[in-house]
Structure 1
């Protein structure tokens, strides 16, 4: 229907319609009441045994404070600025924010302003008067198009699901940053250890070559057998192979670090040989509540996904109820452009509509079943994420519990093999022992040195694992610089 009304009345009617939309929207929420699931892990984290450092809160400690080596700090900062995976995670946040904006826009009316004009000619042969007729019309209006009254919370729950998805993406970005920081530090420490192994292999090769030269001269004089010469040659070749292998590993470590950083790190930021404590040691106090795992970004992301699936159920339930849409407009119409805003040219229209689901072949019910199944999937995923987090912490603490003893035993073993090697050399020079005893002692000494380097790397990476598994590695300052 269309009729002329006073312009103030028309605008007032449109304003009232918009106000009614806002008041009626979201009267009922059919989503299940959300409750944080019970934790499926023990209430307390395992003990790390005797504490060797003051306990610190990983979630309150930024990566800059955790890493004590300035070179490692510089490499991590480069990675946060250049790593492509972190860039993708940040762009995903922007996309999720925009998607939430789209979903939230459905809560508000859409007002459109338009203006138009038309001119038509009717031939005299079809005109009732027998003469050609010309018709002209101009119009200008402000309209509300198909706005849904969200009486049962369908649009609001869709917006809530989009909001929780946005929060989930933010947490995923934080989780990506924590993983990146830990991966860069691990790669940096691995490079340091392999460079130490390479240096050890090269020094061992030099020592083996000197021994081989001595045996070769002795063999030429007849004081050493061909067996001793062959055995000495085998140790030289084995040392050469080790040195070449570690040289290749060092290059691969540098390539891996460059990929994580997203650029080639400057030489001054690379480790030279073995580094002392590159990161602080965090020891959770005995009886620490496992609720600290709720601060991990991956656990928080899983909970946001669970909340989003909860809201999807509400949207699916609302599909069973009627949907009311409003279309209205107010404006002016005239046959002349000069009379477009003259008195008596005002017009308005109001066209509400209601859609009641009667038969859809079971589509709505199936959509609800999908939403409910997805909610159960997200619940199981959340519980599995918490369990995985607990295991990561428990495994790291279990390794920490024995590391001090293993390192102490390995250092003692290294001292014993060193003395054994020295004694075997002395006995060989005095003629009281064969060169085979020297070779065996040297191999044991070399293996003990390599094992100690590996254990020291394990101890350093264990610090990283505890820090990461407790949710450390994120801070607002890190976000700004990242």
Structure 2
């Protein structure tokens, strides 16, 4: 063994020892998910039971709504786009994982010609088999793999967010469609009642028992009811169009299905409770997605930090060469290559600063998602916990108004009172029915908001119906 060979090996060992010491200094710690400080309990809430949480819309017991939700989950374009992003993240994770494995390449070439100009034609062929493996001494590849896994988790959670958003949007649009449909039916019923009152007034006018003013007031009530119909029909059409968009269907098909199944307003047959705030927030896919994005950003910091350290690559190749008339030969080589970033013009420092800024932005975005989640649950609970009292009060008002209309009309027919009480009772009845329909609508919408805010993680307890 020559002296130069011994020196080369000593230099190589010294370089590898230095790399090992630097690697010990550059070791990164695994990412730890952050924890949010939230209240011990949500306001006005009892512990939850999670039975049926994943299909919270089944609380409405509405087969038409179930079909629309199933269609939306299967055909909604946003959901399909989110699923496609999962495939992209999976491919990226495989790509990052492949960079940590030895890379094997092969090439071949052939040539025929006169290389000397002496009229001698020769043929040459060769093939090369190369192997290259970058040893992940300072964790750059490990950080890249952690980031890719976090991105994949975030992609799956993004699909969950899309599904939850679509389901809540479909349920809300369906509640709106049924509301306008019911309001339209109530207005038509009131219109028929007012037309009866108008005919009665006209008969009394012929007999001299009423005045022209009574007839005009009755006509005004009829006209008011007729004028209220177009906005309700427009609201119904717009809700149907929204459902068609969410389910990738046609408006005519959705409208036909809604008309065929009747116009009764759906109402959740369960009372809701959310449970422990920390568990609810942890179950929300948007919060979990923000946490995984934070993890990915932290992995990016580790990657940027690893760029300050040397890179060690082991590579080798084997090349057999065949020459016609001249025999064959084979060349080979194998050894390490050490690359040290001595001067980059501040590029590595800039990349590290940018990665740290992205990580801080991701942390703040996660914190913001937690605060928004708590606010959404609290707001939904505040409305839903009071809706039942409002519905009960409005139901009682409708009953009183219906009885009042019957009594005042009988009294007017018998000539015991004037027509004005009948007109006033008609107005009160329609107003009471409209307010009851609005209360039922708001109760259902608040149930949907609560279910979406808790990511379906609500306790469902059968309510007395």
The SS at the match of 1:191 is helix
How many residues are paired up?
434
2:104 to 99, 107, 111: 111
Distance 1:66 1:97, change over 3 A: farther
Matched, 1:45 2:42: yes
1:363 to 347, 367, 372: 347
Structure-2 residue corresponding to 1:72: 65
Q: In 1, Cα distance between the equivalents of 2:97 and 2:52? A: 32
2:95 to 91, 102, 115: 102
Q: In 1, Cα distance between the equivalents of 2:214 and 2:334? A: 107
Matched, 1:211 2:197: yes
Q: Is the contact made by 1:198 and 1:243 (CA closer than 8 Å) also made in structure 2?
A: yes
2:263 to 250, 268, 273: 273
Matched, 1:234 2:231: no
Q: In 2, Cα distance between the equivalents of 1:433 and 1:237? A: 24
1:318 to 286, 302, 306: 306
1:157-172 superposed matches below 5 A: 157-172=143-158
Q: In 1, Cα distance between the equivalents of 2:352 and 2:27? A: 12
Matched, 1:403 2:387: yes
Matched, 1:454 2:441: no
2:244 to 245, 258, 275: 258
Q: In 1, Cα distance between the equivalents of 2:325 and 2:215? A: 112
**Which range moved further: 375-384 or 136-145?**
136-145
Deviation at 1:471, TM superposition (A): 1.7
Matched, 1:174 2:160: yes
Q: Structure 2 length as normaliser, TM-score?
A: 0.85
For residues 178-228 of structure 1, give each alpha carbon's deviation from its aligned partner in whole angstroms, at most 9, with x where no partner exists: 111122122222222221111101111111122222223433454332222
The SS at the match of 1:374 is helix
Structure-2 residue corresponding to 1:189: 175
Structure ranking higher on relative contact order (CA contacts 8 Å, 6+ apart): 1
Q: Is the contact made by 1:325 and 1:352 (CA closer than 8 Å) also made in structure 2?
A: yes
Deviation at 1:325, TM superposition (A): 3.1
Distance 1:59 1:330, change over 3 A: farther
Q: In 1, Cα distance between the equivalents of 2:304 and 2:48? A: 48
Q: In 1, Cα distance between the equivalents of 2:280 and 2:215? A: 63
Q: Is the contact made by 2:274 and 2:457 (CA closer than 8 Å) also made in structure 1?
A: no
Structure-2 residue corresponding to 1:375: 359
Q: Structure 1 length as normaliser, TM-score?
A: 0.82
Deviation at 1:460, TM superposition (A): 2.1
1:20-35 superposed matches below 5 A: 30-31=27-28, 33-35=30-32
1:274-423 superposed matches below 5 A: 274-278=264-268, 280-285=270-275, 288-336=276-324, 345-350=329-334, 352-423=336-407
Structure-2 residue corresponding to 1:12: none
Q: Is the contact made by 1:194 and 1:250 (CA closer than 8 Å) also made in structure 2?
A: yes
Q: In 2, Cα distance between the equivalents of 1:278 and 1:317? A: 54
Distance 1:114 1:280, change over 3 A: farther
The SS at the match of 2:273 is coil
Matched, 1:155 2:152: no
Distance 1:350 1:414, change over 3 A: same
Structure-2 residue corresponding to 1:13: none
Q: Is the contact made by 1:43 and 1:291 (CA closer than 8 Å) also made in structure 2?
A: no
The SS at the match of 2:272 is coil
Deviation at 1:311, TM superposition (A): 0.3
Q: In 1, Cα distance between the equivalents of 2:325 and 2:405? A: 108
Deviation at 1:141, TM superposition (A): 2.5
Q: In 1, Cα distance between the equivalents of 2:112 and 2:175? A: 79
Structure 1 residue runs of 5 or longer lacking an equivalent are 1-19, 125-130, 475-482
Distance 1:252 1:276, change over 3 A: closer
Q: In 2, Cα distance between the equivalents of 1:63 and 1:339? A: 79
Deviation at 1:405, TM superposition (A): 1.5
Q: Is the contact made by 1:400 and 1:462 (CA closer than 8 Å) also made in structure 2?
A: yes
1:120-159 superposed matches below 5 A: 120-122=113-115, 124=117, 131=118, 134=121, 136-145=123-132, 147-159=133-145
Structure-2 residue corresponding to 1:424: 408
Deviation at 1:60, TM superposition (A): 5.0
For residues 227-252 of structure 1, give each alpha carbon's deviation from its aligned partner in whole angstroms, at most 9, with x where no partner exists: 22221111111100112222222222
Deviation at 1:165, TM superposition (A): 0.9
The SS at the match of 2:455 is coil
